[in-house]
Each structure stands twice: as structure tokens, then as C-alpha cells.
């Protein structure tokens, strides 16, 4: 009897059909679409952040000011009647090789003589010393086309913003030396590759306030005291901090005697 049993394989070619199966299929498609959209959005965001981070990192490493030399100038009444201190520093500043552009308006210059430290911003900077929510922080009387006028104001004037203060211990001014593409100006002081500028720091002391000239600048209105005192053998430290990039240091010691020199080479 067992030998006569026959086994039959049933072939069922029918499939599940109906609204339930359709709903499941649509749900799977929707889930896959949402997952794909999330992955695409996430990858796009990560790519943008990676590009932004890479750009910022490159700028942080490449942006670099370089101080080529520093000259000190003594206040005077005549060629034989000069101050016993250095009253103005002229920093010749350029960009290091491969540096990105630097906005001087955002540079902070710190200078100390070992006793007093001044943190200086560009004279046209409207925000640093402004009243809250205002744009009145620039040096009073700043002229967008006259660098000599701005230097004079730096030495002899005060500014009233959130408070009233001497310009000499709050600001610095600049003047261009080389600017082939004519992109650097008093109102837009952005340095590009190859640019070279003079950066002026007032270092007037209490003993020099009565002198009438600093170089060719008329200071008969009265020099203001920067609270710095650059007498002979003074250790001076200057730090230039750009908006992004590495800081630049320039340290020097003033000579043991200024003699009869009006302009004194200090660095390098």
C-alpha cells in the first residue's frame, strides 16, 4: 500500500492582493523615501560644515601680519630741544608669504613698557568703544581721506563715546606705503598680498606733552599723555592680533641713549 502512494506538488501561482497589501507596500516606499531624504540632508549639512571648518582652519593658519621694522620719533620744539622719550612709533607692516587678506579695522594692537599696557584699535573702528547698540566709537574727527590729519588727532585730541578718553591710549592710525591694486584706504583698510603700510602708535609721556612737533606734525594744541614712558633702556612688547590668524610679536629694548637723534631705529 505504501508503495502505491503518490505525492503531488501543488503549484500555487496566486499572490496576496488587496488594500492591505497595497498599504504595506506604500508604507515601505514612504519609509525608504524619508530615510533617503534624511541621509541626503545630513550628508549635505556635514559637507557644508566640513568645507566651512576647512576654510576657517586654512585662514587661521595662513593669515599673518609681519612687522618689518619699527622706528621711534621724539617730540621736539627744535632740532636741539627734544623730548627725553620716544613719543611715536612707526611700524612698517606687511603680510607674510601666503597670507590671506587682513582687515586692519579688526586688528588689536597691545603695547606695554613693563608698567603700562594699552590695547589699541583702528581709529575708524565704530563699535569697540561705542555706546551699547550704537556706532559712535570711532575717533572724533576721523577723516577718511587725510591720514596726516588722523595722526595729528591721535596725538592731541580726545574722543567722546561711551566715555571721554585720550585718543593716544585707545587708537592707532595707518598710512599706506605700497598698494598696487589701490584697495587700501582709510575707510577700508584691508591689506592684500604685497601691501605695505605704516602703523602709528602714540607713546607720548607725561614729560613730552609741552612739545610742539612730532616729526612734521603740529602738536602745539598739546600732546596727550598715553601713560607709556619709553625712556632709554625700556623693554617694549608689541602684539598685533588680527581677526583671524596667528598673532605677531615685536619685542625690543630702546637704546641706552637717544643722543641728538630725532628718529631712532628700534626694531629689528
| pLDDT value at residue 53 | 56
Do residues 21 and 126 share a domain? no
Query: Using CA of residue 49, residue 54, residue 55, residue 56, what is the dihedral sign?
Result: positive
Closest-CA residue to 75 (of 263, 258, 227, 211): 211
77 lies in a domain?
yes
Do residues 35 and 119 share a domain? no
Q: Does 75 have pLDDT greater than 90?
A: yes
3 lies in a domain?
no
* Boundary residue ending a domain (41, 62, 83): 62
Instruction: State how far the Cα of 131 lies from the Cα of 13, in Å rounded to an integer.
Output: 83
Q: Which structural domain, as residue segments, surrounds residue 31?
A: 17-62
* Boundary residue ending a domain (29, 45, 62): 62
Do residues 135 and 242 share a domain? yes
9 lies in a domain?
no
7 lies in a domain?
no
Do residues 169 and 105 share a domain? yes
Enumerate residues 6+ apart whose C-beta is below 8 A from 140. Answer: 153, 157, 158, 159, 160, 167
Do residues 54 and 86 share a domain? no
Query: Using CA of residue 136, residue 218, residue 235, residue 225, what is the dihedral sign?
Result: negative
110 neighbors 239 (Cβ within 8 angstroms):
yes
pLDDT for 157-213, tens place per residue?
Answer: 999 998 999 999 999 999 999 998 888 999 999 999 899 999 999 999 999 999 999
Mean pLDDT of 127-155: 94
Residue 98, φ and ψ in degrees, nearest 5: 80, 5
88 lies in a domain?
yes
Do residues 80 and 26 share a domain? no
| pLDDT value at residue 52 | 57
Do residues 115 and 247 share a domain? yes
Instruction: State how far the Cα of 181 lies from the Cα of 200, in Å rounded to an integer.
Output: 23
4 lies in a domain?
no
Do residues 168 and 237 share a domain? yes
Closest-CA residue to 174 (of 205, 195, 194): 195
Q: Does 58 have pLDDT greater than 80?
A: no
Amino acid at each position: 500500500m505504501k508503495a502505491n502512494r503518490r505525492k503531488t506538488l501543488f503549484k500555487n501561482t496566486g499572490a496576496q492582493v488587496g488594500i492591505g497589501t497595497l498599504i504595506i507596500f506604500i508604507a515601505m516606499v514612504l519609509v525608504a523615501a524619508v530615510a533617503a531624504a534624511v541621509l541626503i540632508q545630513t550628508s549635505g549639512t556635514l559637507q557644508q560644515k566640513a568645507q566651512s571648518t576647512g576654510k576657517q582652519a586654512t585662514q587661521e593658519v595662513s593669515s599673518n601680519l609681519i612687522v618689518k621694522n619699527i622706528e621711534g620719533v621724539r617730540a621736539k620744539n627744535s632740532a636741539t630741544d627734544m623730548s627725553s622719550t620716544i613719543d611715536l612709533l612707526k611700524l612698517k607692516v606687511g603680510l607674510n608669504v601666503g597670507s590671506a587678506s587682513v582687515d586692519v579695522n579688526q586688528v588689536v594692537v597691545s603695547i606695554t613698557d613693563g608698567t603700562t599696557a594699552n590695547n589699541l584699535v583702528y581709529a575708524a573702528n565704530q563699535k569697540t568703544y561705542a555706546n551699547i547698540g550704537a556706532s559712535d566709537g570711532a575717533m572724533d574727527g576721523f577723516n577718511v581721506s587725510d591720514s596726516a590729519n588722523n595722526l595729528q588727532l591721535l596725538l592731541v585730541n580726545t574722543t567722546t563715546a561711551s566715555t571721554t578718553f585720550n585718543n593716544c591710549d585707545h587708537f592707532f592710525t595707518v598710512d599706506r606705503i605700497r598698494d598696487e591694486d589701490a584697495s587700501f584706504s582709510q575707510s577700508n583698510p584691508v591689506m592684500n598680498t604685497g601691501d605695505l603700510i605704516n602703523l602709528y602708535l602714540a607713546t607720548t609721556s607725561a614729560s613730552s606733552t609741552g612739545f610742539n612737533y612730532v616729526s612734521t606734525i603740529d602738536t602745539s594744541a598739546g600732546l596727550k599723555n598715553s601713560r607709556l614712558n619709553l625712556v632709554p633702556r625700556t623693554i617694549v612688547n608689541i602684539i598685533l592680533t588680527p581677526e583671524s590668524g596667528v598673532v605677531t610679536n615685536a619685542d625690543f629694548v630702546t637704546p641706552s641713549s637717544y643722543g641728538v637723534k630725532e628718529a631712532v631705529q628700534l626694531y629689528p
